[in-house]
Amino acid sequence: MDFLSEHQPEILPGNRQLPPTQGVIEAPHGTTIVAVTFPGGVVLAGDRRATMGNVIAQRDIEKVFPADEYSAVGIAGTAGLAVEMVKLFQLELEHFEKVEGAQLSLEGKANRLSTMIRSNLGMAMQGLAVVPLFAGYDVDRERGRIFSYDVTGGRSEEHNFAATGSGSIFARGAMKKLFRNDLSEADATMLVVQALYDAADDDSATGGPDVARRIYPIVTVITEDGFRRLTEDESSEIARSILERRLEQPDGPRAALL
Of 4-12, 18-26, 114-122, 125-133: span binding other proteins (CB under 8 A)? 4-12
Phi-psi region of 228 (alpha: psi -120 to 50; beta: other; left: phi over 0): beta
CB of 46 to other proteins, least distance (A): 21
23, 98, 248, 256: residue in contact with other proteins (rule CB under 8 A): 98
Of 49-57, 112-120, 224-232, 236-244: span binding other proteins (CB under 8 A)? 224-232
Q: Does 159 interact with other proteins (rule: CB under 8 A)?
A: no
Q: Does 95 interact with other proteins (rule: CB under 8 A)?
A: yes
83, 88, 104, 243: residue in contact with other proteins (rule CB under 8 A): 88
Q: How far is CA 215 from CA 42, 59, 195, 208, 210, in A?
A: 23, 8, 17, 9, 5
CA distance 132 to 226: 20
Q: Does 91 interact with other proteins (rule: CB under 8 A)?
A: yes
| Cβ nearer to other proteins, comparing 95 with 213 | 95
Phi, psi angle pair for 39, to nearest 5°: -60, 120
CA distance 164 to 148: 8
| Cβ nearer to other proteins, comparing 68 with 203 | 68
Choose the catalytic residue: 31, 32, 189, 220. 31
Q: Return the amino acid letter for 12.
A: L
List binders of other proteins among 44-73 (CB under 8 A): 69
| Cβ nearer to other proteins, comparing 66 with 207 | 66
Q: Does 258 interact with other proteins (rule: CB under 8 A)?
A: no
Strands 29-30 and 218-223: unpaired
Of 55-63, 93-101, 126-134, 210-218: span binding other proteins (CB under 8 A)? 93-101
Active site residue 21: no
Phi, psi angle pair for 134, to nearest 5°: -115, 130
Q: Does 212 interact with other proteins (rule: CB under 8 A)?
A: no
Q: Does 94 interact with other proteins (rule: CB under 8 A)?
A: yes
Q: Does 3 interact with other proteins (rule: CB under 8 A)?
A: yes
# residues contacting other proteins (CB under 8 A): 19
Q: Return the amino acid letter for 151.
A: V
Q: Which residues bind other proteins (CB under 8 A)?
A: 3-4, 7-8, 11, 69, 87-88, 91, 94-95, 98-99, 101-103, 224-226
Active site residues: 31
